[in-house]
Amino acid sequence: MTTFVLVPGLWMGGWAWDAVVAELTAQGHRAIPVTLPGLGERAGEDTAAIGLAEHTDAVTEVLDAQEPGAVLVAHSYGIFPSLAAVDRQPGKVERLVFVDTGFPEPGESVVTQMPHLLEAADGHVLRVPSEIDAVHGVPEAEWERYQRLATPHPVRTITDPVALTGAWLKLPTTGIFCLANGLSLEVARALHATGDPRFAKLAEPGVTFFELATGHYPMLSTPTELADVLVRAAAGEGQSLQGQ
């Protein structure tokens, strides 16, 4: 049995992982979806007071409550608080899984990589998107559910810089690329081939990759396939850049 800790991306609470949790549980694993401060059922919290540190603390608290050896799964924005949390105590996590996202450098923020997000700012929050592009393959029923449950996201969490020591770099990792969103194993190979030191980890032992034929929200569009890939990732399976 593996314990999976599931951290969602922007605007989503733990509810986003419901179908994945059901599938992982049916396969005999533990799955713990995380709702970050100010989101989901915690949307009533003071968004002005919530920054990346508060989200990092929330992920840390969940990890602290588990036995060592959990698999930490982070979707999109969720990699920022997840990476910061596991960097504090890498011994708590067996593997870190990136779902359709990359990894920041120390001192970077979400808006360093995606400044356009601030166009959705409304006071202390980012407005929920009015639609999800069809390319992402989210079924109509799931899109309607998203509309009901998604909540404005605290702005400071995307403008605060991430604090990293580099301790997380020693962890085994798995990247799950969603092909309709543009990330792929081919892209990872190209980034590594640049020789940029920040991409050196991509070809290290213990680093694996999967590709899913879906868009940026696989927990909504292909939850069964995502759950199966997470189980395989926990077992160390997946493609490697080594020798390629």
List, edge to edge, every strand of the sheet that includes 125-126: 121-122, 125-126, 153-154
pLDDT number for residue 243: 52
pLDDT, mean of each 10-residue run, the chain (244 residues): 98 98 98 98 95 98 96 98 96 97 95 94 95 89 95 98 96 97 92 91 94 97 98 97 67
User: How many CB atoms are located within 10 Å of the residue 141 CB?
Assistant: 9
Domain presence at residue 118: yes
pLDDT number for residue 134: 82
pLDDT number for residue 242: 76
Domain presence at residue 239: no
Q: Give dist(CA 76, CA 74) in Å, integer.
A: 7
- Long-range contacts at 145-151 (CB < 8 A, ≥ 24 apart): 146/12, 146/220, 149/12, 149/13, 149/15, 149/16, 149/40, 150/11, 150/12, 151/11, 151/13, 151/38, 151/39, 151/40, 151/43
pLDDT number for residue 131: 87
Domain presence at residue 240: no
pLDDT number for residue 16: 98
CATH label of the domain that carries residue 23 = 3.40.50.1820
Report the predicted TM-score, pTM, of the whole model to 2 decimal places: 0.96
Domain presence at residue 243: no
Domain total in the chain: 1
Domain presence at residue 91: yes
Domain presence at residue 95: yes
Interval 193-244: pLDDT, tens? 999 998 999 999 999 999 999 999 999 999 999 999 999 999 999 999 875 5
Domain residue limits at 182: 3-234
- Which residues lie closer than 8 Å to 198 by C-beta, 6 or more apart? 105
By the 8 A CB rule, do 31 and 101 touch? no
By the 8 A CB rule, do 7 and 81 touch? yes
Q: Which residues pair with 194 in a beta bridge?
A: none
Domain presence at residue 224: yes
Domain presence at residue 79: yes
